Structure 1
Amino acid sequence: MFAYNRRWLYLTICIIAIIAACTTLPGKNTQQAKQQSTKTEKNQHNAIIFVADGLRPDWVNSNDTPTLNEVREKGVTFLNSHSLFPTFTTANASAIATGHFLGDTGDFSNTIQVNAPVKSAKNSLVPYLENNAVLREVNKQFGANFLNEQSLLAAARKANFSTAALGKSGPVLIQDVTLQNGESTLIFDDYTGKNEGVILTPEITDLLNKNSLPLKTPERGENNQKGDSKKPGTKVANIAQQQYFADVTTKVILPLFKQRQKPFVMVYWSRDPDGTQHNHGDSLNQLVPGINGETTKTARQNADKNLGQIITALKDLGLEETTNIFVTADHGFSTISKESKTSYAATLKYPDVPQGFLPPSFVAIDLAKDLGKDLKLSLFDPDKNNAPINPEKGEFSRNSILAKNPKQPDITVAANGGSDLIYLPNKANQKDLAQKIVNSLLKQDYVSGLFVNNNLGKIPGTLSLESIALQGSARTPKPSILINFRSFDTGCGTPTACGAEISDTFLQQGQGMHGSFSRADTYNMMGAIGPDFKKGYKDLAPVSNADVPRTIAKALNINLRPLGKLTGRVLNEVLVGQPDTVKSKSFEMESKPANNGLKTVLKYQTVGKTRYFDVAGFPGRTLGL
């Protein structure tokens, strides 16, 4: 009996001990987990993506751009870098945000066709995306995320990183396009302090006041002056506005992020040299010096100064050793040409267009002349409530509709600059109409390469949109035809630094543009430095803007989940502890020749399944082909 009770007593004590242990272990484990989390957090690295809009790598040197040059010399320099085509800002902003090619993001150019008229774009169906109000409306049309992909900043927010995006309106908001007011990403752009801007939190407002910084972004002022055909554009860089963004970054945001004691990811989008290169007044109606004058040199120096201020602040705050900096340009740049010997549009007279030069919307005017009579199509302006256009009376528009009834367009031309998009909204006889359009465009000396939607079949002289990663899981309407314009070397000795291209734009010959498949436009500045990047490493492998967020996500252990399949790659070769070598291959693709012998040729490289597009067009009409 006694032995039996002793056994029960012993068993009871054991049970109590086990229960006690079980009730204390979770607390101990939680404490250990917290300690581990704190340890990981303290060792966690940060990242700044610095986008020098429109910066060409050939003009980065120790004299004019010492900070940018030092990033490449001491960190990683990418000698085989690429912008995505079409080489436009919002298009590449979508790649820098998500790590996807444009066939997935649907941001095919700065101006695209959408599903419904956009009120903030004067009820146009082809809005210009470098506008916050427009982006918000377009976002609502496509499931509250027109990019249809998660952005790096959104993923970082979910991973408890502090996040921010500053600089040029349009590409800045695209970095976290699903953001709603009150969420944690800090947004500063041209619209800060205005109705279109993301509302600043009381905390940020207080910090701005304490640092004597305005609550409203300064205007561009003289830098925003484009001039006209008789009056040169700006002769100054975007100094004041960019100084504001640099001051906000270094005096408010970085100190705040350090105070929070958690990692951060920031995108800083420098409008210079892009804005100044577009508007400069150094070469009115002349191809030389074009975008290589003193004003654009000052713009490059301005961007370099801003980056230098940010790096100095990182040092002063003790953040330099834990912060990666990835510098990229969304695209290269070229000088505008407005000359053509075949264009009907160039034979007409217009106000503010020198005699014999191409007017804005020359593609639409030429198509209307060539096809309009037989198909009974007239020209309309979608940006002015579909007002009719009569080129013979000196009228033109930015974007154009060709139709019997403008409310039911047969052809929509979205003019963008170095390339244009054509949409065929009416599905009836689409293939037949596409063939007629291609036949018309093949007559023009300003065309160099045509790409058509896969649904239209194989048309001689053209390649498919799929061949250049423009056919994917995009939610926005897919273009039917993409027109690449002729480009050429102006003869300075460095073709990629001195390219010129035909441009469908209101800007003048001699000013700056991009968007073409010229190597001058696809060749962008890229470099990286920081704790996760190798030192003094020269990367010869092909890289692109679509690789930037995926590489940063890998370095910071952020889970960036793709939906579409058209993604960039992780640049493992530049990361510390990874192998140096990368296997890449070069390819050339060409279309079946058209009846006049013209064929679209594409040169590209690959690493694994990822493509890098070098150059494309008609042989002899594209710089670098």
Structure 2
Amino acid sequence: MSRLLATTALCLTLGAMALPAAAEDAAQSPAKRNVVIFVADGLRYTSVTPETAPTMYKLRKDGVDFANSHSTYPTLTTVNAAVIATGHYPGDTGNFGNSMWVAKPVPCRMGASVTFIEDDCILKDVKALYPNDYIAQKTLMETAREAGWNTVVIGKKGPAAIEYLGALESEGKDVGDAKGLFIDDATNRPQNLDGSPSKSTVLKGALAAEVMTVTGGLTAPPFSATPNLTQQAYLRAAATQSILPRLKDAGKPFAIFYWSRDPDTTQHGAMDSDGKLVPGINSTSGRAAISNADSDLKGLLETLKQYDLDKNTDVVVIADHGFSTISHAIPNEDGSVGRNTLAPGFVAMDVGGWLGKKVFDPDREGAEVDTSSGEHPAQGNGLIGDDPEKPEAVVVANGGSTFIYIPDHSPATAKKIYAELVKQPYVGGLFVDDAILSSDKPAFAGALALSQVNFIGSSKMPRPAIIIAFRNFVAKGCVEKLEQMCQAEIADTTLHTGQGMHGSFGRADTRNFMAAIGPDFKKAYVDTTPVGNVDVAPTLAHILGIDLKGPGALKGRVASEALQGGVVPKVVKTTVASDKAANGFQTLLNLQEVDGHRYFTAAGMPGRTVGLEAK
């Protein structure tokens, strides 16, 4: 018999006997809330319909529909994972992209300094290299665990760990472990597919045996697939048939963070629109991926109800970002495209040419790229200079955006690059480091400062000197009713035209799905106040009565208008405009403000950004 059931039986036996005063006070005090955060990776707000996602559609209808939602720019997974975890923007967390130049050798990346960070081993390395600058804030899950909640983090490798990096040291025995329980798709796998160490967790004892039983005898999560059915079925079974019953038996308040790979994984990898912008990610595979995530959520909600946990549990369902269809060519005015002209690494190759320098590939141990034979960087990244160990510029591809770092912070180098960038038809918007921009404002006309998008804060992680938000557009022939469902974007990626990508500043990427339901949230309420991923941690910390601590002032707010008794705040809409470059290029930033908190809707040059209001 569990401790909770034994206590209940004892109370029934005592019948009408008087409880001691302390026990009576405890019985009358409200129970601490449970919370569940469910992330459907890459889910556009406008993708949720009764047909594709009936569970999410109903939750949005019955609870709070965050109709004016915002992903944080760049609209990338790890950027938003850190934002969701801490309630701080990138300038404070130091997590600027899915791929970054960290200026130091990363052991788990074979000593490379440019690295994709969606990996437990690499995340540990980056944190060790920058302990006071990479996610130096206490996350919601870590704070809840220290305050007495049982915590479980489960889901996609990389962003799951960001929610509570310390949980990678979990004992893997039970929900009551000192660091909570952590399971991602690398758990029980000492090595990744490429042979690198995973440094993820290992399940042990009775829990390991139980999870293996409920998942059909599997000793580790399956590898990801398109659609990602088998891997997510494993994680869903572990959560609903093993973990939630254990949380019920523990009799303590709990916080669950569940990160679903789909629809992101399938939207990236689906081949049923290969080479074509239409239907793009609105294909059969893309819709199946949304249903896959919806099934995970349905299982969690039904299990909460089964164990009578739903009445005391607040559930927040969000996406880290939206999504677009990839284009490898500059669009015509009508949204059509011709043959592919933008191969992976096109920005790195351009920068090398503009500076008259060699291009070295950080993903091939610094090997020189043979430009004369048409060779391109393997992953789009490039070390630009005469020596890969001392680059003059570093180009890091991040899908719908690309970062350009200048290691010696030379304004002269930045000017050379910028003078050519502003002419390129693949550019949607440009952002330049404040110090470089202020050194010669006329030379950087057309760009906004990085501080305008919350990139400069308490973190001293290496940050880009220039960020390119690529051009995006409405694809010709798209039959979807809503413009955001038709967005295509230029992307620096090895994926194909017709597959999916994100990272841009178009509204299809910034408008992520957000909804909530539970005892603390209003019922059947459409929240038109701007809200974003940055508000998730502050709002849930407020509900739980815990304080989030850590450096930096670039924070979100408590979305009080969505809570019971909450009042709708005043919203101010503005547009920030850069100076115009000599050729007329200009970056506009549409934003909304609530009590000083800024939400970015779209940014770029008019005519090159979906959802941008030109004023």
Is the counterpart of residue 503 in structure 1 residue 491 in structure 2? yes
Tell me what 1:131 maps to. 119
User: CA–CA distance in 2 between the matches of 1:368 and 1:341?
Assistant: 25
What code does the residue aligned with 1:358 have?
L
SS at match of 2:115: coil
- Contact 1:122 1:383 (C-alpha < 8 Å) held by counterparts: no
User: Which of 178, 182, 188 pairs up with 1:187?
Assistant: 182
Identity %: 41
Q: Spell out structure 1 runs of 4+ moving beyond 6 A.
A: none
User: Which of 273, 279, 283 pairs up with 2:263?
Assistant: 273
- Contact 1:462 1:591 (C-alpha < 8 Å) held by counterparts: yes
- Per-residue deviation, 1:209: 4.2
SS at match of 2:152: strand
Q: Deviations over 1:301-345 (max 9, x none)?
A: 111111111111011111011111101010010000000399xxx
- Per-residue deviation, 1:201: 4.1
Tell me what 1:453 maps to. 433
- Contact 1:115 1:141 (C-alpha < 8 Å) held by counterparts: no
- Per-residue deviation, 1:497: 1.2
- Per-residue deviation, 1:576: 1.3
Is the counterpart of residue 619 in structure 1 residue 599 in structure 2? no
- Per-residue deviation, 1:407: 0.6
User: Which of 557, 561, 564 pairs up with 1:569?
Assistant: 557
Distance 1:367 1:486, change over 3 A: same
- Contact 1:82 1:523 (C-alpha < 8 Å) held by counterparts: yes
Is the counterpart of residue 325 in structure 1 residue 315 in structure 2? yes
User: CA–CA distance in 1 between the matches of 2:550 and 2:408?
Assistant: 32
Q: Deviations over 1:470-525 (max 9, x none)?
A: 11112321211110100001143311111000000000011000000001100111
Unpaired runs of at least 5, structure 1: 1-30, 224-236, 343-353
- Per-residue deviation, 1:370: 2.3
User: CA–CA distance in 1 between the matches of 2:457 and 2:268?
Assistant: 31
- Contact 1:50 1:269 (C-alpha < 8 Å) held by counterparts: yes
Tell me what 1:226 maps to. none
Tell me what 1:202 maps to. 205
How many pairs were matched up? 562
Tell me what 2:231 maps to. 241
Distance 1:600 1:205, change over 3 A: same
Tell me what 1:541 maps to. 529
Tell me what 2:448 maps to. 463
What code does the residue aligned with 1:184 have?
K
User: Which of 453, 459, 469 pairs up with 1:474?
Assistant: 459
User: CA–CA distance in 2 between the matches of 1:413 and 1:145?
Assistant: 22
Tell me what 2:10 maps to. none
Q: Deviations over 1:128-165 (max 9, x none)?
A: 01111111111101117721111000000111101111
- Contact 1:461 1:591 (C-alpha < 8 Å) held by counterparts: yes
1:232-381 correspondence runs (5 A): 237-340=227-330, 356-372=340-356, 377-381=357-361
- Per-residue deviation, 1:210: 5.1
- Contact 1:341 1:445 (C-alpha < 8 Å) held by counterparts: no
User: CA–CA distance in 1 between the matches of 2:487 and 2:305?
Assistant: 38
Tell me what 1:220 maps to. 224
Farther-moved stretch of structure 1 (118-127 vs 459-468): 118-127
Distance 1:315 1:287, change over 3 A: same
Distance 1:577 1:215, change over 3 A: farther
SS at match of 1:178: helix
SS at match of 1:112: strand
User: CA–CA distance in 1 between the matches of 2:162 and 2:31?
Assistant: 29
User: CA–CA distance in 1 between the matches of 2:166 and 2:360?
Assistant: 33
- Per-residue deviation, 1:455: 1.3
User: CA–CA distance in 1 between the matches of 2:449 and 2:602?
Assistant: 15
- Contact 1:144 1:178 (C-alpha < 8 Å) held by counterparts: no
What code does the residue aligned with 2:432 have?
V
- Per-residue deviation, 1:204: 2.3
Q: Which structure has the larger Rg?
A: 1
User: CA–CA distance in 1 between the matches of 2:246 and 2:304?
Assistant: 12
Tell me what 1:351 maps to. none
Tell me what 1:437 maps to. 417
Tell me what 1:152 maps to. 140
- Contact 2:93 2:133 (C-alpha < 8 Å) held by counterparts: no
User: CA–CA distance in 2 between the matches of 1:378 and 1:34?
Assistant: 74
- Per-residue deviation, 1:36: 4.5
Distance 1:551 1:63, change over 3 A: same
Distance 1:110 1:38, change over 3 A: farther
- Per-residue deviation, 1:32: 5.5
User: CA–CA distance in 2 between the matches of 1:435 and 1:290?
Assistant: 37
SS at match of 1:127: strand
TM-score by length of 2: 0.89
- Contact 1:408 1:426 (C-alpha < 8 Å) held by counterparts: no
Root-mean-square deviation over aligned CA pairs: 1.7
User: CA–CA distance in 2 between the matches of 1:238 and 1:184?
Assistant: 28
Unpaired runs of at least 5, structure 2: 1-19, 172-177, 191-197, 333-337
User: CA–CA distance in 2 between the matches of 1:476 and 1:32?
Assistant: 54
